[in-house]
């Protein structure tokens, strides 16, 4: 048993309409990797006087971040033909407060994508026993995208949507990105994915507004990195971006590294989507390595001052980290840190259907915790009650 004391606990608060608030004077009691109880510190001292305590030093004690869209970091990439890559990501991600993530594939040959999904499956079957971030499944970004809105994805590997490629990995894939116009009005792909428990994400798409809205009404409930690689808002043709911003049932990813979307665009997204936003990094292997030459999806990537680009200047994923995107979004919107944290914890956990286990620090949940100061500098990260980063 362990109790985390002297922290500002980020918890849902009835007085704030159930939103996250920071509450002082409470202890978090951890047993067998789970949160056993949340109680006033005075009660902890009375009832559990012999319980070891960990002092958070007045910092925020938050649910650990869940990154649903991450290709790689610290030199490792989901597409690496090497099971060490996922292990490296698990080991290193707690540095950024991440306790769960979805290794994300990129457009490549279907054989390479399926091999990568197979490696994620193997990793989940035989999880790494050392302390590290958990793998919750895979995010399949491409190859069912628009050649015209491919971003940094290689056009030669783009394919029309075909569920038979996804089906053998339905136990692993949590999201699949699809350009709605590539469905040609046949929504059986969406239906098959939904029946298999896979969330279909609208993205890398040049659809017109009506096409996008039609696909949304047929079950596309998520959008891949809002604003990026999708037809933009025009007041007479609101495009995919307009459809995603306008449709209430769609949860939109946002890369708030201030490179992929302007602070004002972040504010607009929050005004229109509220809690239907998920903060992601979309990071590549160069994340955490500093400036230099890197790789993504079989292409050279040049990293300079927080910007990752292909040789032709196309933005190539990001070098952002979850602590950074949370910090930026709070700063850009004026939203409190607890409210911002919701978009990196409870919102993705609810969408993934694991809110009973993750995404909040309520009793019964896994003790997946990030501890940070008011500038979101990560001080410590716990996964299943074990300290993976910090002391």
37 or 253: CB nearest Zn ion: 253
* Contact status: 282 vs Zn ion (CB under 5 A): yes
37 or 141: CB nearest Zn ion: 141
Q: What is the DSSP string of 189-223?
A: HHHHHHHTTPEEEE-SB---HHHHHHHHHTT--EE
Site string (84-123) toward Zn ion, x via CB under 5 A: ----------------------------------------
# chain residues binding Zn ion, by CB under 5 A: 2
Per CB under 5 A, the list member of 141, 323, 342, 351 interacting with Zn ion is 141
Q: Is 291 a catalytic residue?
A: no
Distances (CA, A) of 121 to 114, 126, 194, 341: 10, 9, 20, 29
Angle between helices 263-273 and 322-333 (to 10 degrees): 80
Tell me the closest approach of the beta carbon of residue 238 to Zn ion, in angstroms: 24
Distances (CA, A) of 180 to 53, 206, 210, 212, 256: 52, 8, 10, 6, 24
Q: List binders of Zn ion among 334-373 (CB under 5 A).
A: none
Q: Within 13 Å, how many C-alpha atoms sit on residue 285's CB side?
A: 22
Which one from 80, 282, 291, 373 is the annotated catalytic residue? 282
Name the nearest CA neighbour of 251 among 212, 215, 200: 200
Stretch that binds Zn ion, among 213-221, 228-236, 279-287, 307-315 (CB under 5 A): 279-287
Tell me the closest approach of the beta carbon of residue 248 to Zn ion, in angstroms: 25
Distances (CA, A) of 352 to 255, 320, 348: 19, 22, 6
Tell me the closest approach of the beta carbon of residue 107 to Zn ion, in angstroms: 10
Stretch that binds Zn ion, among 19-27, 118-126, 134-142, 178-186 (CB under 5 A): 134-142
Cα maximum dimension of the chain: 67
Residue nearest to Zn ion (CB): 282
Q: Which residues contact Zn ion by CB under 5 A? A: 141, 282
Please identify every residue annotated as catalytic. 282
């Amino acid at each position: 048993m362990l109790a985390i004391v002297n922290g500002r606990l980020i918890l849902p608060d009835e007085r704030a309409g159930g939103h996250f608030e920071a509450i002082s004077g409470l202890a978090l009691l951890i047993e067998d990797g789970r949160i056993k109880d949340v109680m006033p510190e005075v009660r902890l001292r009375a009832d559990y006087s012999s319980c070891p305590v960990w002092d958070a030093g007045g910092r925020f004690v938050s649910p650990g971040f869940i990154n649903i869209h991450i290709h790689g970091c610290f030199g490792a990439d989901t597409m690496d033909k090497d099971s060490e890559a996922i292990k490296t990501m698990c080991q290193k991600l707690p540095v950024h407060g991440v306790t769960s993530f979805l290794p994300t594939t990129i457009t490549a040959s279907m054989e390479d994508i399926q091999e990568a999904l197979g490696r994620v499956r193997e990793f989940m079957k035989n999880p790494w026993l050392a302390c590290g971030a958990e793998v919750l499944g895979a995010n399949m970004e491409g190859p069912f995208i628009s050649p015209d809105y491919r971003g940094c994805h290689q056009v030669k590997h783009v394919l029309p949507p075909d569920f038979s490629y996804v089906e053998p990995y339905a136990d692993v894939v949590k999201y699949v990105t699809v350009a709605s116009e590539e469905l040609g009005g046949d929504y059986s792909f969406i239906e098959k994915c939904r029946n298999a428990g896979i969330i279909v994400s609208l993205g890398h798409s040049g659809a017109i507004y009506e096409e996008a809205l039609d696909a949304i009404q047929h079950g596309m409930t998520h959008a891949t990195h809002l604003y990026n690689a999708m037809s933009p808002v025009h007041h007479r043709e609101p495009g995919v971006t307009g459809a995603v911003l306008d449709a209430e049932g769609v949860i939109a990813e946002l890369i708030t590294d201030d490179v992929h979307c302007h602070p004002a665009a972040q504010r607009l997204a929050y005004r229109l989507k509220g809690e239907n936003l998920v903060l992601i990094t979309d990071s590549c292997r160069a994340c955490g390595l500093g400036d230099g030459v890197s790789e993504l999806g079989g292409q050279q990537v040049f990293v300079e001052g927080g910007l990752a680009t292909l040789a032709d200047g196309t933005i190539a994923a990001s070098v952002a980290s979850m602590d950074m995107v949370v910090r930026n979004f709070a700063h850009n919107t004026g939203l409190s840190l607890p409210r911002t944290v919701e978009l990196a914890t409870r919102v993705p956990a609810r969408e993934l259907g694991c809110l009973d286990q993750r995404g909040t620090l309520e009793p019964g949940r896994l003790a997946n915790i990030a501890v940070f100061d008011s500038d979101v500098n990560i001080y410590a990260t716990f996964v299943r009650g074990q300290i993976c980063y910090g002391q």
